Structure formats: structure tokens, C-alpha cells
Amino acid sequence: MENIFANIVSGEVPSHKIYEDDQILAFLDIHPLTPGHTLLIPKCAFDYIFDLPDDLYNYMWRIAKKLAKPLQEAMGAKRIGIIVEGFLVPHTHIHLVPINDDQQLKHGSRNHDTTPEELAQIAAKITQAIKDAECKK
């Protein structure tokens, strides 16, 4: 099975990145549950989150926490919901979903067709909020 996330990490497939370091990449989901729906992945492919080495597992959750507040503020959401299920792509990923109620986390609600231009605008808004959060520390 082809791993689209590995192709995103390598740059073969474009994405709207909102965060990247040497171990982690965060980018916007092209079929979002809500605007700003972000996927957080390790750059090394592991199929199942509980197969991650402990240090990488813990690091992913620290980055998820780091991104949550700026994502919440940028998208005007009450909370950031989290989904970890890992069936569609064989590469560990955490969904960070801006939500205002519990119904927005249902996968059947993916009906937000988002253009590349809209994704670029959302990514710019979130990356600016991340930069602003760093400055407040």
C-alpha cells in the first residue's frame, strides 16, 4: 500500500505545512472535518501509534499540545479535538481538529470541500498564530 504521508514528508506530494522540525510534520488535512483540521505525523513511518519508540511517542504529544492553543486561537474554536485511529493511511498520525461541539469529530461529517487557496490562507493564519505563541513565551 502506498504511503501518501511518506510522499508528503519527502516533498513528492505538496501539502500545506503548519509545523515542521527534524522529527515531526504537521499539515492541513485536504478533506477536513472542520477548517484547520491538522494532521501531525512522525517523519519516520510507523503504522501504529503504540509501535512508536517512547521518546518519539512522547515528543509527538508534546508537539500536539504546543500546536493546540495557536490552532484553537487561529480558527476561533472552543477546543481542539483529537482523533487517533490510523486505518486509512499506514503511518501514525494524530488529527487535531478545531471544534465547537462534539458532533464535529464524526468522520461522516467530512463535507468541507476546501480549495488549495483556502488551505493556503488557513495555513498562513495558523503558522502566524504559532509564531505569535512562541513570542509570548
Q: What string of DSSP letters covers 56-78?
A: HHHHHHHHHHHHHHHHHHHHT-S
Q: Provide the pLDDT for residue 106.
A: 72
Neighbours of 3 (CB within 10 A): 13
Q: Which of 71, 2, 78 is nearest to 39 (CA)?
A: 71
- Section 4-24 average pLDDT: 95
Q: Which residues of 29-45 are buried (b: 16+ CB within 10 A; e: fewer)?
A: beebbbbbbbbbbbbee
The structure's pTM equals 0.89
pLDDT in tens, 25-72: 999 999 899 999 999 999 999 999 999 999 999 999 999 999 999 999
The mean per-residue pLDDT over the stretch 6-21 comes to 94
Least confident range from 47-56, 90-99, 128-137: namely: 128-137
* pLDDT beyond 60 at 111: no
Q: How many CB atoms lie within 10 A of CB 14?
A: 10
Q: Could you give the percent of the chain with pLDDT greater than 70?
A: 93
Q: Which residue has the higher pLDDT, 135 or 75?
A: 75
Q: Which of 12, 10, 84 is nearest to 44 (CA)?
A: 10
Predicted confidence band of residue 136 (pLDDT cuts 50, 70, 90): confident
pLDDT at 87: 85
For residues 27, 30, 35 and 38, what is the CA-based torsion angle, rounded to 10 degrees? -30
Distance CA 51, CA 53 (A): 6
Smallest CA-to-CA distance from 38 within 93, 104, 85 is with: 93
